[in-house]
Amino acid sequence: GSYKDIKKENEKYEHYYKEQKCFDVSQFDQFLEAMKRPLPAVFRITGYKKHAKQLLKNMKRNHFEDLTEMVIGEETIKPPVPLPWYPDELAWQTDLNRGQIRKVPQLQNFHSFLIAESESGHITRQEAVSMIPPLLLDVRSHHKVLDMCAAPGSKTAQIVELLHRDENNAIPDGICVANDKDNKRCYMLVHQIGRLHSPSTIIVNHDASNFPEILVKNDVGEEIPLRYDRVLCDVPCSGDGTMRKNTDVWVKWNQANAIYLHRTQYRILLRGLELLGSGGQLVYSTCSLNPIEDEAVVAAAIQHCGGAVEVIDADLPGLKWSPGVSKWRVMDRDMNWYETHDEVPENKKKNLSYSMFPPGGQDVMEKMHLERCMRLLPHQQDTGGFFVAVLRKTKPLPWQKDEAKMETKSETNGSETKIQAPPRKKRKWEPGFKEDPFVFLSSKDEATSSQITSFFGLKDFPMDQVLTRTTSEKKKQLYFVSKLVKNIVETNIDHVKVINTGVRVFSRSANTQNDLECEFRLVQDGSECIEPFMATRVVPIQIEDVKRFLLEEQPKYEDLSEQLREKLKDVAPGSMIYKYQPENDDADVACELLLCGWRGTFSSRLYMNNHERMHFLNMLGVPVPKHLLPNTNARRARAEEGEKKEEKENGGEEEKKENGMEGEKKEEKENEEMEED
C-alpha cells in the first residue's frame, strides 16, 4: 500500500511495552490510540529576534482571527493555541495538519505567511517535544554550548536564540558549536542556522562519539582544551516515539533496534560528559520510549563516571510527563526477557551487554534518581513520544586526572592554572565535500579594511574578525565572527573540520562605475552586528516611508516624506542602513527595524530578498502584494514529492541541502540589477 495506508499495528511493539512497564500500564489503550492519530502542526516564533513579539501581535490579529469560525467540510476548525509550557506564547499548535494548511483555499494567506516566515528564519515548524531539550539546557549568553548531533538543526536554532537573548548585545560572549557526523546533513544545519545571522555559531563535521578536543588560546597564548558549559546529546535512536509522524516505524519496529543503538548512544553520552566543564549541564534526549536507549544509557554513564555526574530535577511549568523508571528488562531477538546480565546465556552476552541492564539493586538505583528523567507520552499532551534527562557534572571524571589536579591546584594557590593541551594528532577527515578555506583579513588587506571603515564610519569595529572564503585577491563576500569563534577557527585549522561559520556583513558591489567611494555594500544579514559600530550612513526613517520602501521596488525621491528627503541630502551615493525606532512601547510597531538600503542619485531602494520583504510587511501588519507571494503551486508539487522523505527527518523540517553558498550566488544576481547610479 501507499505511504498513507500503512497499517498502524505491531503486536511485538504492543507486547514489548506492556511487559516493559516503563509507564502506567492502565493507560496503555489511551497511549496506543494517541500513537495512531496524526500529529498536530506546531510552529515556533524564533524568540531572540526583537521582532518576535511584534510578529506574534500581528499573527494573532491578522491570521488567527480568520481561523476562529472556519468550517472545512463538516468540521469546525479550532483556532491555534499556544503550548502552555513554552515561554511567552512563542510556540503554537493547531489541529490543521500540514496537508490541510497547504490544500484548503481559505488557508492560503496563513500558508503564505508560514512559508515566508519559515524561509526568513522568523518561524520554525518543529515537533513540540523536540523544543524541550534546549529549554532544559538553561543557556545564558556567555555559555559555551556544544550540540553533538545537531542536524537537521531545529534544536540548535533554539540554542542560538537563547545565546542571543540579551537584546542589547548582537555579539554574545558565548558560542554554539553545532556538530553532525553526516556531511550532507551539515548543509541542512547551514540553512537552518544561517537564517539566524549569528556571529557566534560554528558548524563542524565529526563523529560525536569521538568528537575532537577543540583547543583555544588563552590570554598568554597557551593552547588549552575547550570545556563547555552546556552540552546537548540528542542522540540517534530507534525513533519509536515518532510513529505519529513516521508511520513506517509501525512496520519496521523490532526489539533489536534499541540493542543495536545502545552502545553508540552510550559512547556519545560519555564523550559529551568528558567535554563538559565541571559544574556544567548536559541534556540527554531521544525520541524513543525504550529504557534500553533511555534510562539504561544514563545509568551506565553515571555508574562509569564514579560519582562525578548526577541527574538533576528538571521541569517546565505546564508540561505533563512521566518519571523515569529504575527497573527494566532486556529482550533478545527470540523475545526472551532477562532481568540481569547474569541470566543471559554465554552465547548472547556479547550482544546483550552489561550496560543495558540496571547496574545494581534497589539501593544503588535509588541513589541514581532516575525518576528525575522525563518520559513524554503521546496521550499526555497530544505530542510525539520522547525521553529527556538533565545531568550535572560535579567534578572532573575519574580518568580526567590532569583536570582534577589543575582544579585543586588553582583552588589551593588561588591562581588561575590552565591545563596544557594534549599533543596534537593529525585527523583523518571523513569523506565529504571539500570546504573552501576560512581566511581572516590581515595587514595585507589594509586597503579593503580602511576603505570600509572610513566609508561607513566604523568606530572600534574589529576588522580582524572578518573573514572570507577565498584566498584570491578579489574577495566577493565578507563574513563576521565573534572573538571566540575566530580563536577556534585559527587554533584548530588542521584539526577540526569546520563546514561553516560567520554572518555575511559585506558584499562586493556589482556597480562597475569608478565613482563609488567604497567597493563593498552592507548586507541585510549582518545589519544587527554592524549597525552599533556605524557613525555615519545610518538614516532615521518613519513607518510610512518603511511601508513605501517595502511595497515599491524603487520609490522616487519626490514620493518619500520631506523629512527623509532632507536627511538623504547629506548622504553620498552607496550602501546605507535605514533605522526605524518606535517613539514608545505602545507604538503600533513597537520594535526597532534595520533595513539595508542603497542611496542612488535619483532614487533609493532596499537591499533584501522577497522573503525578508514579506517578513517586514507581516510584522507591520500590511497585506503582502501578490507579486511577492511564493509560487504555491510549484511548492505544492515539490512538497508532495518530498513529503515522504521530509517526514522521516527527525523534527520534520524541510530538507535543505544547499551548500549555503548557492543561495548567496542567487541573491548576488538579483542584487546586481539593483545598483543604479
Give percent of the chain above pLDDT 70.
86
Segment among 232-241, 250-259, 374-383, 510-519 with least mean pLDDT:
510-519
- 322-333 residue pLDDT tens: 999 999 999 999
Report the SS3 class of residue 203.
strand
Q: Are 181 and 430 contacting, i.e. CB atoms less than 8 angstroms apart?
A: yes
- 140-158 residue pLDDT tens: 999 999 999 999 999 999 9
**Of 179 and 167, which is predicted with more confidence?**
179
- 560-618 residue pLDDT tens: 999 999 999 999 999 999 999 999 888 889 899 999 999 988 889 999 988 889 889 99
Residue 48 confidence (pLDDT) above 50: yes
Nearest residue to 47 via CA among 177, 144, 154:
154
Concatenate the DSSP letters of all residues of 477-501 into one string: EEEE--HHHHHHHHHTTTTS-EEEE
d(CA 299, CA 357): 9
**Of 251 and 585, which is predicted with more confidence?**
251
d(CA 653, CA 634): 18
Segment among 193-197, 268-272, 418-422, 649-653 with least mean pLDDT:
649-653
pLDDT at 533: 97
Q: What is the DSSP letter of 4?
A: G
What average pLDDT does this structure show over 199-225?
96
**Of 493 and 267, which is predicted with more confidence?**
267
Segment among 23-32, 395-404, 447-456, 634-643 with least mean pLDDT:
634-643
pLDDT at 112: 82
Place of cell 516611508: 545
Contacts 24+ apart (CB under 8 A), 543-547: 543/580, 543/588, 543/589, 543/620, 545/578, 546/578, 546/580, 546/593, 546/595, 546/616, 546/620, 547/620, 547/622
- 648-659 residue pLDDT tens: 444 333 333 333
Catalytic residue list contains 186: no
Measuring CA to CA, how many Å separate 520 from each of 307, 474, 507?
56, 11, 5
Nearest residue to 531 via CA among 491, 480, 600, 567:
480
Binding residues: 149-155, 180, 207, 234
Binding residues for S-adenosyl-L-methionine: 149-155, 180, 207, 234
- Domains of the chain, first to last: 3-127 (3.30.70.1170), 129-325+359-413 (3.40.50.150), 439-496+502-629+662-672 (3.10.450)
d(CA 123, CA 87): 15
pLDDT at 358: 97
What average pLDDT does this structure show over 263-287?
98
pLDDT at 641: 52
Concatenate the DSSP letters of all residues of 525-539 into one string: GGHHHHGGGBSSSEE
Among 176, 237, 287, 529, which one carries the catalytic annotation?
287
d(CA 291, CA 22): 7
Q: Mean pLDDT in the chain?
A: 87
Which residues make Cβ contacts (< 8 Å) with residue 74, sequence separation at least 6?
A: none
Residue 188 confidence (pLDDT) above 80: yes
Residue 192 φ/ψ region, left for φ over 0, alpha for ψ in the -120 to 50 degree band, beta for the rest = alpha
pLDDT at 661: 44
Residue 318 pLDDT level (bands cut at 50, 70, 90): very high
Residue 337 confidence (pLDDT) above 80: yes
* pTM reported for the whole predicted model: 0.89
pLDDT at 407: 60
C-alpha cell at 617: 510587511
Residue 435 confidence (pLDDT) above 90: no
C-alpha cell at 87: 515561554
Nearest residue to 455 via CA among 577, 541, 567:
577
Place of cell 556544544: 146
Residue 432 confidence (pLDDT) above 60: no
Residue 428 confidence (pLDDT) above 70: no
C-alpha cell at 443: 595587514
Residue 49 confidence (pLDDT) above 70: no
pLDDT at 240: 95
Residue 63 pLDDT level (bands cut at 50, 70, 90): confident
Residue 342 confidence (pLDDT) above 80: yes
What average pLDDT does this structure show over 538-544?
97
Give percent of the chain above pLDDT 90.
67
Beta-strand relationship, 477-480 and 503-508: antiparallel
